Amino acid sequence: MELDGITFGYDDQPTLKELHLRLKPGEVLGLLGRTGSGKTTLARLLLRFYDPQQGCIRLAGTDIRECKLAELRSKAALVTQNIEILQGSVRDNLTFYDDRITDEAIIGVLRELGLRGWYESLPEGLDTPLASGGGSLSAGEAQLLAFARVFLTDPGVVVLDEASSRLDPLTEHRLEQAVDKLLTNRTCIIIAHRLTTVQRADQIVIMEQGRIVEAGPRTKLASDPESRFSRMLAAGLEEVTV
Ligand SMILES: Nc1ncnc2c1ncn2[C@@H]1O[C@H](COP(=O)(O)OP(=O)(O)O)[C@@H](O)[C@H]1O
Ligand SMILES: [Mg+2]
Residue 240 resides in a domain: no
Ligand 1 center from residue 122 Cα (angstroms): 36
Residues of the chain under the 70 pLDDT cut: 132-136, 238-242
Quote the pLDDT of residue 238.
61
Q: Residue 141: CB partners within 8 Å, gap ≥ 6?
A: 115, 118, 171
3-state SS class at 164: coil
Q: Is 37 in the pocket of ligand 1 (CB under 6 A)?
A: yes
Give the CATH number of the domain where residue 192 resides: 3.40.50.300
Q: Looking at ligand 1, which atom is closest to the CA of residue 191?
A: 21
What letter represents residue 87's amino acid? Q
Number of domains in the chain: 1
Ligand 2 center from residue 124 Cα (angstroms): 35
Residue 242 resides in a domain: no
* DSSP 8-class letter at 126: G
Quote the pLDDT of residue 132.
58
Average pLDDT in the chain: 90
Residue 36 resides in a domain: yes
Percentages of the chain per state (helix, strand, coil), in multiples of 5: 40, 25, 35
Residue 205 resides in a domain: yes
Quote the pLDDT of residue 218.
97
**Strands ordered across the beta sheet of 2-8:** 16-22, 2-8, 54-59, 62-63
Quote the pLDDT of residue 133.
53
Print the domain residue range for 173.
2-235
Q: Is 193 in the pocket of ligand 1 (CB under 6 A)?
A: no
Ligand 1, atom 5, lies closest to the CA of 10
Residue 241 resides in a domain: no
Q: Is 33 in the pocket of ligand 1 (CB under 6 A)?
A: yes
Q: Is 15 in the pocket of ligand 1 (CB under 6 A)?
A: yes
Ligand 2 center from residue 206 Cα (angstroms): 13
